[in-house]
Amino acid sequence: MKHLVLERPLAIFDLETTGTDPARDKIVEMAVLRIEPDGSRVSRCRRVNPEQPIPPAATAVHGIRDEDVREEPPFRRIAKGVLELLQGADLAGFNVWRFDVPLLQRELTECGFDLELGGRRVVDAMTIFHRKEPRNLTAAVRLYLGREHEGAHGAEADLQATLEVLEAQLERYPDLPRSVDELDMTRREPGAVDSAGKFVRRENEVVFAFGKHQGKPLAEVAEESPDYLQWILKTDFPDDAKSLVRQALGGES
């Protein structure tokens, strides 16, 4: 490596998964690049059968379908080999600390293995990116308007800067919609049917886009776990999401 000095092996890895919840989703593909201090490298990549359906929303991201992994081994059959490949190495990746590392650790634990994070350093390129390139109004003014944000955190200066940034974004990105209704959709999950994107429409069914029931039809959860939907009604979920839940509890699709 040109700029990074290694005292121990470094394993850069990435996971493709069935979803975005490290506490419940499963690996469908794993790639590892192990770099030794002497510069030698070993690269491995293989797909994994998650032993559960891959939601369409996940396939839309990584392109991996159920039929693509049907003949691949489940993670429990390769877990030992994965651990051996990572043996004695520090870890690196993009957004690995919040997602890939805890998901991999959980998968290994379920197979009776331990990633032993206490003895490893973790380098997360996304953390460095966000620290060096902050995503705030001051940074947006600098990027889109080519100037410093004078009067930052003063309400009047901030609202004027926000307007100018929005206008500059519309000028820079011709593919952005020009109506408020359409711009509102850019912050939502594709196919979202409520303002917070808690539920999405997939193949004419409203399905969960979050939590332990992610990917399941709302109507199915209403039948199997009505108490969970009653819990949602007692939380601070948006009114339009609660309306969908009430309809499902009432037998409406």
Domain CATH code at residue 47: 3.30.420.10
Q: Are residues 72 and 113 in the same domain?
A: yes
Query: Considering the domain boundaries, does residue 1 fall inside one?
Result: no
Q: What integer is the mean pLDDT of 88-97?
A: 95
pLDDT of residue 212: 81
Q: What integer is the mean pLDDT of 222-244?
A: 91
pLDDT of residue 35: 97
Query: Considering the domain boundaries, does residue 194 fall inside one?
Result: no
Query: Considering the domain boundaries, does residue 86 fall inside one?
Result: yes
Query: Considering the domain boundaries, does residue 44 fall inside one?
Result: yes
Query: Considering the domain boundaries, does residue 151 fall inside one?
Result: yes
Q: Are residues 87 and 164 in the same domain?
A: no
Query: Considering the domain boundaries, does residue 63 fall inside one?
Result: yes
3-class secondary-structure state, position 200: strand
pLDDT of residue 252: 64
pLDDT of residue 214: 81
Q: Are residues 159 and 176 in the same domain?
A: yes
Q: Which of the listed residues 93, 109, 129 is the one where a domain comes to its end?
A: 129
Domain that holds residue 232: 199-249
First-to-final CA distance of the chain = 56
Q: How many domains does the chain have?
A: 3
The string of pLDDT tens digits covering residues 165-213 is: 999 999 999 998 888 888 876 766 677 888 778 898 887 889 998 878 8
Q: Are residues 144 and 104 in the same domain?
A: no
Question: How many other C-beta atoms are found inside a 10 Å radius of the C-beta of residue 81?
Answer: 12
Six-digit token pair at 34?
Answer: 């192990």
Question: Dihedral (C-alpha) 14, 16, 21, 25: value to the nearest 10 degrees?
Answer: -120
The string of pLDDT tens digits covering residues 130-166 is: 889 888 999 999 999 999 999 888 999 999 999 999 9
pLDDT of residue 253: 53
Look at residue 215 and tell me whether its pLDDT is greater than 70. yes
Q: Are residues 74 and 143 in the same domain?
A: no
Residues 186 and 176: beta-carbon distance below 8 Å: yes
Q: Are residues 44 and 146 in the same domain?
A: no
Q: Are residues 147 and 62 in the same domain?
A: no
pTM metric for this prediction: 0.69
Q: Closest Cα to residue 6, out of 85, 89, 127?
A: 89
The string of pLDDT tens digits covering residues 42-89 is: 999 999 999 999 988 889 889 999 999 999 999 999 999 999 999 999
Q: Are residues 61 and 37 in the same domain?
A: yes
H/E element, 163: helix 155-172
Average pLDDT, rounded, for the chain: 91
3-class secondary-structure state, position 172: helix
Q: Which of the listed residues 129, 152, 170 is the one where a domain comes to its end?
A: 129
pLDDT of residue 140: 94
Q: What integer is the mean pLDDT of 89-109?
A: 95
Q: Are residues 14 and 118 in the same domain?
A: yes
Q: Are residues 229 and 170 in the same domain?
A: no
Query: Considering the domain boundaries, does residue 193 fall inside one?
Result: no
Q: Are residues 177 and 217 in the same domain?
A: no
pLDDT of residue 40: 96
Look at residue 113 and tell me whether its pLDDT is greater than 90. yes
Q: What integer is the mean pLDDT of 227-245?
A: 91
Q: Are residues 124 and 142 in the same domain?
A: no
